[in-house]
Amino acid sequence: MTGMQVSSTNSKAMIVGFALVATGGLISMAGMGITGTAMFNALRRWMLAQQEPPSAVMKRKMAQAKAATTAGASAWQNGMATSARH
């Protein structure tokens, strides 16, 4: 059984290939960092520009959903009672 042998030409090509992959990875990480920072700042500016904080909007929407659920349930129950009388 013979093992894999790397000639000096192949080892140089492997080193260059590794260097290119490592450089590409570093460039990608830098790009992700810059993009992430830009997106975070844009989201922060958008949140600060809102008239009401997102937590207040969420509380209001949850209260509206609960009210609609309660109204829908009682309407359904009342509708069932009314239709049973006919």
Q: What is the pLDDT of residues 39-86, one digit of tens each?
A: 999 999 988 898 888 889 999 999 999 988 888 877 777 765 555 555
Structure tokens, 39: 């997106």
Q: Which of 46, 51, 81, 19 is nearest to 73 (CA)?
A: 81
Question: What pLDDT was estimated at residue 22?
Answer: 98
Q: Cβ distance 54 to 47 under 8 Å?
A: yes
Q: What is the pLDDT of residues 2-50, one digit of tens each?
A: 666 767 778 899 999 999 999 999 999 999 999 999 999 999 998 889 8
83/77 Cα distance (integer angstroms): 10
